[in-house]
Amino acid sequence: MLFVIDVGNTNINYGVYDGEKLVASFRMMSKMPRTSDEYGVMILGMLYNNKVSADDIDGTIIVTVVPNVMHALTSAVIKYIKTNPVIVGPGVKTGIKIVTENPREIGPDRIVDAVAAYEKFGGPVLVLDFGTATTYDYITEDGSFAAGITAPGIRTAAKALWEDTAKLPEIEIKKPKSILAQETISSMQAGLVYGQIGQTEYIIKKVKEETGISDMKVVATGGLGRIIFAETDMIDVYDPDLTLDGLRIIYEKNKK
């Protein structure tokens, strides 16, 4: 079995694959400092709850955008899972050629998403990831990472509202019954959700316009992406496991 780990700014997402099948997935917060032993015990506990034995895992791969957790996390994997993890970064084969002006500036998580989208759906493809940031990445027909757009994520925008204004409360992010809000909470929900829908549709439209590819496949992932996908016909596929699948694919490319 393969253990895949996606370390994001908000959460660490874990997955276990038996061949190409995702047999277990779970997550924990990434912002809380932990020792390698704390990571190890929590990982073993969640594997057990998902009926997976650490003894059955023979490989691990990690992608991260939070470098300061890596020492403790990789130490936990080595000690408790007993595998030496592959870390997605320079020198790791992905099958994606980065042709942007500064290739090293492209986050490894975005490359993992690009690999999964290209391998699963072909190119050209526009990959949307609704996370702490909302990213839009254009992958060409021949598998080149050609351009990327970065915007604040929905939760990041919401956090700015309730932390930087004196009277606005912390709210659940969901689509309100109507955009014609008549009280504070639904007013904030309307602005956040419908604002993200509008941004998403406009950026997709402009990417297709500037590339001249009107039939480009649009694939979305990320926790809050499900809300946006349900409200627009400009996203073709919502794939919640895209990043985990990308890690599996990259591991297979580097297995030999």
Tokens standing for residue 65: 């955008």
Tokens standing for residue 201: 């549709």
Contacting residues for 7 by C-beta, under 8 A, at least 6 apart = 30, 62, 63, 64, 65, 66, 69, 70, 73
The full DSSP string for 184-237 is HHHHHHHHHHHHHHHHHHHHHHHHHHHHT-TT-EEEEESTTHHHHHTT-SS--E
Is residue 100 within 8 A of residue 147, CB to CB? The reply is: yes
E strand residue ranges, the chain:
2-7, 11-18, 21-29, 59-64, 86-87, 97-98, 125-130, 133-139, 144-152, 217-221, 237-238
Question: Would you state the torsion angle of the CA atoms of residues 99, 100, 104, 109, taken in this order, to the nearest 10 degrees?
Answer: -90
| 109: annotated active-site residue | yes
Is residue 36 within 8 A of residue 92, CB to CB? The reply is: no
**Is beta strand 125-130 parallel, antiparallel or unpaired with respect to 237-238?**
unpaired
Which among 109, 129, 137, 239 is annotated as catalytic?
A: 109
Catalytic residues: 109
